[in-house]
Copies of this chain bind each other. A is one copy, B any other.
Amino acid sequence: MPLSTHVWETPLRVRYAETDAMGIAHHSAYVVWLEAGRVDWMRSIGLSYADLERAGYSLPVVELRVRYVAPSRFDDELVVRTGLSELRSRSARFTYEIVTAEPHPRQLANATTQHICMRAGAVARMPDSLRAAVERTSAGQSAG
């Protein structure tokens, strides 16, 4: 299975509601940002996660790992860098880096999420549209 080395950058700003009494973004907010990055990554290769769901698929998170390197604060501009690091017949892994939106970005966190493909309440093969899109992207990269 060819693996996409395509990395997508999703910009975001830390919302006030995402801060906590330490004055920094709460660690659970990062988990939500990873998801925003993942959805955006799919869109960037021509896939809509909303469409996948309408076709009966879902990709629930089965494992999550986040390393918090440096704090972020209200109104900070960040970038989530998302890549697909593994694609199997029934599972996938995404790898992320959250960095500052600066000319010389500093890493604030790095993370991985492991997903299984579900359909009709059971583990299922990844939809062909996902595989095809990943192959197209990887082919484009090899050719480039």
The 3 A-B pairs of least Cβ separation, nearest first, read A19-B21, A28-B31, A50-B75
User: Interface residues, chain A, CB within 8 Å of chain B?
Assistant: 13, 15-17, 19-24, 26-28, 31-32, 35-36, 39, 48-50, 53, 58, 60-68, 71, 73-75
Inter-subunit contact B75/A39 (CB<8 Å): yes
Q: Once the chains are docked, how many angstroms separate the CA of A63 from the CA of B65?
A: 7
CB-CB under 8 A from A60, the residues of chain B are 22, 24, 27, 68, 71
CB-CB under 8 A from A67, the residues of chain B are 62-63
Known: A63-B65, A64-B64; 11 extra A-B contacts, CB below 8 A, are A17-B28, A19-B20, A22-B60, A28-B31, A28-B32, A48-B75, A49-B75, A60-B68, A62-B68, A64-B65, A64-B68
Q: How far is the CB of A15 from chain B (nearest CB, A)?
A: 6
CB-CB under 8 A from A26, the residues of chain B are 16-17
Inter-subunit contact B62/A35 (CB<8 Å): no
Q: How far is the CB of A64 from chain B (nearest CB, A)?
A: 5
A15's nearest neighbour on chain B, judged by CB, is B36
